[in-house]
Amino acid sequence: MSPVGQYLAFLSIKYGVDPDEFFHALTSTAENQKSRCGELSVERRGKTQDNIVFLILKDARVVAQFPIPTVFLSERLNPIKNFMDTDVIRRYLARKNEGVRSLLIRDLHLGMKQVNLKARVVEILNPRIVVTRFGNSASVASALISDETGTIKLSLWNEQIKSISKGDYIQVQNARTSWFKGELQLNIGSKGTLSSA
State the pLDDT at residue 99: 57
Tell me, yes or no, whether 70 and 110 share the same domain: no
Which of residues 40, 72, 96 is at a domain's end?
96
Tell me, yes or no, whether 88 and 109 share the same domain: no
Tell me, yes or no, whether 155 and 71 share the same domain: no
Q: Are strands 169-180 and 150-157 parallel, antiparallel or unpaired?
A: unpaired
State the pLDDT at residue 191: 75
**Domains in the chain: how many in total?**
2
Write the secondary structure of the chain as one string of H (helix), E (strand) and C (coil).
CCHHHHHHHHHHHHCCCCHHHHHHHHHHHHHHCEEEECCEEEEEEEECCCEEEEEEEECCEEEEEEEEEHHHHCCCCCHHHHHCCCHHHHHHHHHHCCCCCCECHHHCCCCCCCEEEEEEEEEECCCEEEECCCCCEEEEEEEEEEECCEEEEEEEECHHHHHCCCCCEEEEEEEEEEEECCEEEEECCCCCEEEEC
The CATH number linked to 129 is 2.40.50.140
State the pLDDT at residue 100: 61
Tell me, yes or no, whether 71 and 18 share the same domain: yes
Which of residues 63, 96, 129 is at a domain's end?
96
Phi, psi torsion values for 25, nearest 5 degrees: -65, -40
Tell me, yes or no, whether 33 and 83 share the same domain: yes
State the pLDDT at residue 118: 92
| pLDDT tens column, 84-127 | 888 878 777 777 766 567 899 999 999 898 899 999 999 999 88
State the pLDDT at residue 27: 92
**Which stretches of the chain drop beneath a pLDDT of 50?**
1
What residue numbers bound the domain in which 62 lies? Answer: 3-96
- Cα gap 33→16, rounded to integer Å: 23
Which of residues 78, 96, 114 is at a domain's end?
96
Q: What is the pTM (predicted TM-score) of this model?
A: 0.51
C-alpha 52 chain-centroid distance: 25
Tell me, yes or no, whether 30 and 55 share the same domain: yes
